[in-house]
Each structure stands twice: as C-alpha cells, then as structure tokens.
Structure 1
Amino acid sequence: MNTSTLERVRADARPASSDVPTNDRAGARRAVAAAAIGNVLEWYDFAVYGFLATIIAHKFFPAKDDFTSMLATFAVFGAGFVMRPLGGIVLGRFADMRGRKAALLVTMFMMAGSTVAIGLVPTYASIGIAAPLLVMSARLLQGFSAGGEWGGATAFIVEWAPDGKRGLFGSFQQSSVALGMLLGSGVSALCSTALGPDAMDSWGWRVPFLLGCLLGPVGMYMRRNIAEAPTFSDAVVKSESLSVPAGLRLAFRAFGFAILWNVSYYIMLAYMPTFFQKFVGLDHASALWSNTAGLLVLVVAVPLVGKLSDRIGRKPLLLASCIAFIVLPYILLSWVLASRHIGVILTAQIVFAASIALFSGPGPAAIAEMFPTRSRSTWMSIGYSLAAVLFGGFAPFVSTMLIGITHSPLSPTAYLALSSVVSVAFVLTMRETAHDDLR
C-alpha cells in the first residue's frame, strides 16, 4: 500500500467528531448502523427481481409455455450471481487496499443505478430481444456489486465489534440482508395489493425497482459519514497480505461452509413465492405476504442467535441448522401441498426462517474469523461468492428444473438435503473461534 493510501485509511479511521474516541462502543454502534442501513438498501435492490419473477417472465422472456419462461427468468436471476466472484475479487481487493468505507460507497452506487435501469427497460413487446439483453446487463452489474458488498460489509461490521460481541454485531450484517429482502418483499406485496393484478402487470411492477433511485442516495449519505474500524487500520500498518496459496485454502473452506447458507436462503426466501403460486395456488399478493412474514421472523431471530453464539460458540448452532435442513423441508412442504391452507403455509415459512437464522446468526462472525484482517475482504468475498453463484443464485433455476424433470414439487428438498450434508462436513472440521481474538 502506498503512502497516500495509508494516510487516507488512517484518516478514515479517525472519528467524525473529535471528542468521540474511535474505539468506543458508541462509535462502533454508529458505524455498524450506517453500514447495516446501506446493506438493507443494497439487498432490497438485489432481491426485488426474484419477488417479481412471475411478472418479469412474460414481460421480458415470453415463451411457448410458462415453464420455459420461468426457466429463462431464473437463469437471469442466477446470472447476476455469476458476477459475484468477480465483484468479490475486484471490490474485495479494493476494500483491503483502499478501505472498507470506499468499497461500500462504490457498491451502493452501482446497485442503485442498475436496479433503476431494470425499472426503466421497455418490455420485449416494445423493443424485442434488446429487452432481455438490457435486463441481463443490469442484473450482471447488480451481481458485481453484491459480490463486493457482502464481503466488505461483513468485514467492516465484524471488525468494529467489541470483544465478546462479534456474533451479535456480525449478525446485523445478515439481519440487514434479510431486512432488505423483507423490504423488497413487502413493497412488492403492497404494490400487488394496492394496485390490483391488472395495474401491477401493466406498470406497477416497475415501482419497486424505481424506488432504488430514492433509496440509493440515502445509503450513500449514511456511508459517507462512517469511519474505518481500528482493527483494519492497525492491520494495514502491522500485517502482510496472505499469500495466494494460503488465501485459496481459506477461501475453499469458506466456500464449503457457505453452500447450505446460500441454497437455503434462495430456495426458502426467494423461490418460495413462485413455488406457492405455481404449486399451492396462492395469488401473487398472498404468496408475497407469506414470504414477508418469514423474512420478518428472520430479521428478528438472527441477532438473537448471533448473540447466543457469543456465549455457546458458533458450531453447535451451525450444525443444528444443517440438521434442520436435512429433516424438515420434505416434511413441511408435503404438509403444505396436502393442506394448501394459508395457516400451514405461514407455519412452514416461519420454521424455515428460524432454521436459516440458526446459520445466519453465527455465520458472518464464523466466516470472518477464518481470515486475517489484512486480507479478509478479498478471500472471504471470493469463497462466499463462489458458493453463492454455484449453489445459491441458481437455486431457483435448479428447483424449477428438478420439478420439471421429476414432476414432483418436492424434488427441491433433495437439493437442500444434499447441500446440508456438504456443509456439515465443512463445519465439523472448523475450529471454534467464538472466544478467540480477531486476527
């Protein structure tokens, strides 16, 4: 790192107000709150596409049948994840070299711009093949931004955590992701309910995307007024970056660790609204409201589980989540398909959300603790983003394809169970780091 960059990182580590010590808890709370609020807005933008998939399918990917149209839609949903490893490499390296704050400002700008772009693209009926190509381009930019956002925000929040509270503080990263998805689901559901099916299909679907032009500046403002974590600033001066072989080994460990995390998230919370519409018979608004209820439970539960992990350790909770996703999905979705009752659907969504919280609570701290501070953002972003693209982003696509091949709506539960088994193997080999100092 050159002298000017080092001076800039040190300057950003100073508090915004000179009478507030950089390392005090009030400063930590302000920094984490600003990062988390920006994270909420980032993931609102990223998630809206999935919640409006059934409308996007026939607006931009018309085909001879609904199945083919939905496959194309979810392929583009997954394509956004293809860019996440590249975003993780480029923006993760940028965060490790220039500071977390600078990287978080860049990701906020890119995500807001690409989301608004999707809301403005004319449909296939208006401009033909250019429409899906433009949507694909915007989605790729969203994925690039998300690849840098996840690692940068996770590193920033965990590095600001006081001793003994990394699980709690780290959980705010994942809770803010869930809150962003909750906001996206809630806004989409509200638009569907308030506007009605015809208006929503005609123009109302654009509203959740165009809100990105209002939310983006809020996130930018919040992030401009935060300082770098003292842990990172110290590491810039005292530590060397990981070698490539060492970084790859740790990234591979993070990759395996994050497989279930991603698959469970994107099947249970991004794909379920479509599943409930296609196979249970819910209307668009009801499917989104049930998903919103599950996300609300997740937002509340994640910090509680994160705090618990500071006391009893990360591994027991991570393993409990893996076991839950081996056992519960087949049972609960069978119950849902048999009853088709909204109360049963809500119960299933809440149980799934609680099971995800068992992983998402300790997950950010556990994955961050695998890496030394000086190289954390780069290698953590690469490992997590590869799991996201290979297993998470295409989870709705894989689920749709499995159902098409097997003719069974329950077939995605096998994908969940297999992902759980793989992640169990990685979690079992982890060292418990809840009570260690951050490297």
Structure 2
Amino acid sequence: MKLRRKRVKPIGLKDITIIDDTKLRKAITAAALGNAMEWFDFGVYGFVAYALGQVFFPDASPGVQMVAALATFSVPFLIRPLGGMFFGALGDRYGRQKILAITIVIMSISTFAIGLIPSYASIGIWAPILLLIAKMAQGFSVGGEYTGASIFVAEYSPDRKRGFLGSWLDFGSIAGFVLGAGVVVMISAIVGQDKFLDWGWRIPFFIALPLGLIGLYLRHALEETPAFQQHVEKLEQGDREGLAVGPQVSFKEVATKHWRSLLTCVGLVIATNVTYYMLLTYMPSYLSHNLHYSEDHGVLIIIAIMIGMLFVQPVMGLMSDKFGRRPFVIFGSIALFILSIPCFMLINSNVLGLIFVGLLLLAIVLNAFTGVMAATLPAMFPTHIRYSALASAFNISVLIAGLTPTAAAWLVEATNNLYMPAYYLMVIAVIGLATGLLMKETANKPLRGAAPAASDMQEAREILQEHHDNIENKIEDIDAQISELEAKRKNLVQQHPTINE
C-alpha cells in the first residue's frame, strides 16, 4: 500500500507575523506591571517578616516567630498548582489577556486584605488563620500570573528579540521588590519602630490596591496575542487535528509526550526561584535575625543590590538573543556552585563592603537565570497547550522553591550553622547545571506551533532567507548522505556473486 504524503506549503513573507511595535510596548508594560505587583507583595512580606512574626505569633521565641512568619509565606505555594491548572486551562481555551486581567484583580484584593487583618492580641488564633487564607488566595492567583505573563510577552515578541523583551518581565519582578523594600524602609523611618510594629506594617499592603487597579486598566485594554489568534483561526477554519487535541492537556500527557520540556521547566524554575527567594526574601531576615544588623540596615543593602540587578537584567536578555539561552543557564549554575560558600564567607565577615560584594555576586548569578527564564519557558510547549502545560509544570516546581525561606531559616536554627544556605544553593546549582545540559536551544527560533515573528518587513525577509538557506543546507547534507550510501551499496553489490545492479 502506497502512502500519500501531505504536501507541505512553502513558507512566504505573508506567513511571517509582523509585530506591531505599539501593541508590543503595551503588552510588555502591562505584563511587567502585574509581575511587579506580585513581587511587591513577596518583597514586602520578606522585609516585614520580623514584624508579622511579632504581630501574629507573639507567644513564640524570636527564632520561632521568624520561621512561623516565613512558613506562612511558603504554605500558599501548595495552592499554586491548583491555580495554575485552573487558570492554565482557561487561558488555553479563552485566551491569555482575559485570564491575566482576572489574576491581577484577585492578587491585589488578597494583598490589600492582609493589611486589614487584626493582630493576635485582638482576635487570637483567627489572626494567623486569616493571614493564611489571604496568602492562599494570593497563591491561587499567582498560579496563573507569572506563566500567563511570560506567555503573553513571548507570544507578542519577535523571534530575534524574545530574550531581551522577555527579560523585562523579571525586571518588573525586581522592581516590585525594590518598591516593596523602599516602602518598608520609608514608612519605618517616618513612623518609628514602635508605631511600625503597631500599625505601620499595614500600609505597604494597602498600596497593592491602587497598583492592581492600574494593572487591570492596562491589561483590559490589550488585544490577544498573535500566536493565540492564529490558533483560534485554525480552529475556526476546521482544523480537525487542532479540534481533536483541544485546549486542555493532562499532566500525564505532558510527562509522556513533552517529558524533556517538562524536565527543563522544572529544573530552570527550581534553580531560578530558589536563588531568588534565598537572596531577596530570606536574606533580609538572615541579616537582621542571624547577623544582628538592624532591620532597616539589612533592607538597605538588599535594595542597593536589587537596583544593580535592574541594570544587569535587560543586558542578560539582550545577550541571550545573541549567544543563546543555554550558555547563561550553564554559566549561572557553575558560578552558583563555585561562589556560594565564598559569598557567604563575605556576608558573614562583619565588613559592610565585603557583605555587599558577597550579595552582589549572588545577584549577578541570579540575573543569569532571570535574564533568560521568561523567554525560555514559553518556547517549550506548543500553542494549544502552552498555558495549561507550563502553568502546571511551573507551579509544581515552585513548590520546592517556595520552601526556601522556611527551610533555610529552619536549617540555620537547627544546626546553628550560618553556612547552611550556601550548601542549599550548591545542591540547587547541580540541578541547574543538569538543566542547562539537557535543554534545547530556543533563541532566535519561532515558538512551537506558531508562525515566525519579525519586527518589520526587512527582518521578515532576513528570516525567510535564513529559512531557505537552512533548507538548502539540509538538502546538501541529505545529498551527501545519499552519495555515501550509494557508494556503500555499490561496494556491497560487488561483493555478492548473484546481485546485479
């Protein structure tokens, strides 16, 4: 039986998506602001953990207060996979823009609610319970936030600039941390330590509401991404294969059909977010509680580090468009393994300049991961399952990362060893290195299941020419292999007495 091959239609200029520059800027601004909102809360929570420990867990010792407050930070990560599966399925069915508008509303309201919760002295055990409920609502919304925002930016970005443009998403994350830290320091300085513990800590959480309203306005005005619009058009034109696959995918299918993408996602998320939470969430508490710096002093050091990261972040993304994503993951992992102990030796030196250098080195390593993550993750899965698959894999992975502040605080308390966070990071570095070696390069390539995307017509012509040159090179390789096989065949025929050519 002779199989009929489906004729492949040649790719022309009309098949390459030209990205509208104005829409692209709006998409990046809206996505980055929502991400800043998410990390504003995480930053504030890490910087006021000492205050929350006293307000919500007043009967515990200072060490237990710190662990308990950070545990409340970590527990909501258990709910994130549910939010990821819920919003991921909706995002693949109804579009990215609608879901991102919903997640920022839930996130801003739940963050605002934390500032309204009475203290333990006022309502007893209900205080930490309400805090936990608010944090779980945040976890549910965040389950669809980062992955949705990274997909939104990636699907709007031209192929040759996806690393640079994607890096602005985590620029928003770092900016959110800076804003959160700056607000904490400013309010503490204005009202004083006693009043800050009494009521001043609530103000940063109240700021979340107006930020959320601004983010909602920007996201509501956005159009759907070009890649998702193309997917919808195929379904409307009767693409039976697309209809059969459907917009949802089970985690079992991701694990079997997309196992390499899944492992890459898990490894990169763990390596990035453990380093993130260790440096930006746990370290202020480490400096104040374990090294006995004043809270404001420790926060100011971290703020200076994060401001430096803001300048490095887009540079990493830009360089990844030139040199690829894999080199940065591999370099960052090796550097993290080698530098973790030396950096913590500097941090524990009691010399301000050396402390700054130790934290700065860790921050640069972190930039190597964050500079490429938002561009790398969405490129792993095809359009019709991208949101649901990535959200599920991302949020299951981040369960491990979310335990970082609690685990680091507990390990230091249990062992009385100030270098336990360094050992923790070294283990994570091994995971990151394995990820970098396993992952496929995605730089300057179209997203899976999407048409090539260019900034303008000239770039589209260059992409088309590169595509044709690549086809020609593959044909030449195949011709060379055919010639080699024909020579081998001729040699074998000559060795057989009864076979004639």
Matched, 1:368 2:378: yes
Residue 279 of structure 2 corresponds to which residue in structure 1?
Answer: 268
Residue 298 of structure 1 corresponds to which residue in structure 2?
Answer: 309
* Partner of residue 422 from structure 1, selected from 421, 427, 431: 431
How has the CA–CA distance of structure 1 residues 229 and 63 changed in structure 2, closer, same or farther, with 3 Å as cutoff?
Answer: same
Q: Which amino acid aligns with 2:397?
A: A
Residue 12 of structure 1 corresponds to which residue in structure 2?
Answer: none
* Partner of residue 21 from structure 2, selected from 6, 22, 25: 25
Q: How far 1:308 sits from its partner (Å)?
A: 0.4
Q: How far 1:318 sits from its partner (Å)?
A: 0.9
Q: C-alpha separation between the residues in 1 aligned to 2:375 and 2:18?
A: 21
Matches within 5 A, 1:131-150: 131-150=127-146
Q: How far 1:209 sits from its partner (Å)?
A: 0.7
| Cα pair 1:34 1:222 within 8 Å, conserved | yes
Q: How far 1:97 sits from its partner (Å)?
A: 1.1
Q: C-alpha separation between the residues in 1 aligned to 2:417 and 2:59?
A: 22
How has the CA–CA distance of structure 1 residues 393 and 243 changed in structure 2, closer, same or farther, with 3 Å as cutoff?
Answer: closer
How has the CA–CA distance of structure 1 residues 25 and 336 changed in structure 2, closer, same or farther, with 3 Å as cutoff?
Answer: same
Q: How far 1:346 sits from its partner (Å)?
A: 2.2
Matches within 5 A, 1:171-186: 171-186=167-182
Kindly provide the CA deviation profile for residues 288-328 of structure 1, in whole angstroms up to 9, marking residues without a partner as x: 11111122122221111011000000011111111121111
TM-score (normalised: structure 1): 0.91
Q: C-alpha separation between the residues in 1 aligned to 2:328 and 2:19?
A: 30
Matched, 1:125 2:121: yes
Q: C-alpha separation between the residues in 2 aligned to 1:202 and 1:242?
A: 48
Q: C-alpha separation between the residues in 1 aligned to 2:159 and 2:184?
A: 39
Residue 270 of structure 2 corresponds to which residue in structure 1?
Answer: 259
Deviates further, 259-268 or 227-236: 227-236
Matches within 5 A, 1:81-100: 81-100=77-96
Matched, 1:412 2:421: yes
Q: Which amino acid aligns with 1:253?
A: T
Kindly provide the CA deviation profile for residues 363-407 of structure 1, in whole angstroms up to 9, marking residues without a partner as x: 1111111111221111111111112112x2110111011112221
How has the CA–CA distance of structure 1 residues 71 and 159 changed in structure 2, closer, same or farther, with 3 Å as cutoff?
Answer: same
Q: C-alpha separation between the residues in 2 aligned to 1:297 and 1:382?
A: 32
Matches within 5 A, 1:35-54: 35-54=31-50
Q: Which amino acid aligns with 2:210?
A: L
* Partner of residue 384 from structure 1, selected from 372, 391, 394: 394
Q: C-alpha separation between the residues in 2 aligned to 1:38 and 1:242?
A: 25
Q: Which amino acid aligns with 1:49?
A: Y
| Cα pair 2:249 2:389 within 8 Å, conserved | no
Residue 334 of structure 1 corresponds to which residue in structure 2?
Answer: 345
Q: C-alpha separation between the residues in 2 aligned to 1:282 and 1:425?
A: 37
Alpha-carbon RMSD across the aligned residues, in angstroms, is 1.6
| Cα pair 2:342 2:358 within 8 Å, conserved | no
Q: C-alpha separation between the residues in 2 aligned to 1:175 and 1:414?
A: 27
| Cα pair 2:271 2:428 within 8 Å, conserved | yes
Matched, 1:323 2:334: yes
* Partner of residue 218 from structure 1, selected from 214, 220, 225: 214
| Cα pair 1:96 1:376 within 8 Å, conserved | yes
* Partner of residue 359 from structure 2, selected from 346, 349, 352: 349
| Cα pair 1:46 1:142 within 8 Å, conserved | no
Residue 297 of structure 2 corresponds to which residue in structure 1?
Answer: 286
Residue 3 of structure 2 corresponds to which residue in structure 1?
Answer: none
Residue 71 of structure 1 corresponds to which residue in structure 2?
Answer: 67
Q: How far 1:429 sits from its partner (Å)?
A: 1.0
| Cα pair 1:22 1:230 within 8 Å, conserved | no
Q: Which amino acid aligns with 2:200?
A: G
Kindly provide the CA deviation profile for residues 66-98 of structure 1, in whole angstroms up to 9, marking residues without a partner as x: 122212111111012111111111111111111
Q: Secondary structure at the match of 1:369?
A: helix
Q: Secondary structure at the match of 2:380?
A: coil
Residue 247 of structure 1 corresponds to which residue in structure 2?
Answer: 254
| CA radius of gyration, larger in | 2
Residue ranges of structure 2 left out of the alignment (5+ in a row)? 1-16, 235-241, 449-501
Deviates further, 252-261 or 21-30: 21-30
Q: C-alpha separation between the residues in 1 aligned to 2:141 and 2:248?
A: 24
Q: C-alpha separation between the residues in 1 aligned to 2:106 and 2:18?
A: 29
Q: How far 1:134 sits from its partner (Å)?
A: 0.1
| Cα pair 1:294 1:349 within 8 Å, conserved | yes
Matched, 1:399 2:395: no
| Cα pair 1:251 1:382 within 8 Å, conserved | no
TM-score (normalised: structure 2): 0.80
The total of aligned residue pairs comes to 417
Kindly provide the CA deviation profile for residues 25-69 of structure 1, in whole angstroms up to 9, marking residues without a partner as x: 222122211221222123213432122100000100223311222
Deviates further, 259-268 or 421-430: 421-430
Q: How far 1:163 sits from its partner (Å)?
A: 2.5
| Cα pair 2:327 2:436 within 8 Å, conserved | no
Deviates further, 82-91 or 58-67: 58-67
Residue 441 of structure 2 corresponds to which residue in structure 1?
Answer: 432
Q: C-alpha separation between the residues in 2 aligned to 1:41 and 1:251?
A: 27
| Cα pair 1:46 1:115 within 8 Å, conserved | no
Q: Which amino acid aligns with 2:294?
A: D
How has the CA–CA distance of structure 1 residues 373 and 200 changed in structure 2, closer, same or farther, with 3 Å as cutoff?
Answer: same
Q: C-alpha separation between the residues in 1 aligned to 2:38 and 2:159?
A: 28
| Cα pair 2:272 2:366 within 8 Å, conserved | yes
Calculate percent identity across the aligned residue pairs.
Answer: 35
Q: C-alpha separation between the residues in 2 aligned to 1:41 and 1:405?
A: 34
Deviates further, 353-362 or 22-31: 22-31
Runs of 4+ in 1 over 6 A off after TM superposition: none
How has the CA–CA distance of structure 1 residues 242 and 219 changed in structure 2, closer, same or farther, with 3 Å as cutoff?
Answer: closer
Q: How far 1:243 sits from its partner (Å)?
A: 4.8
Matched, 1:163 2:156: no
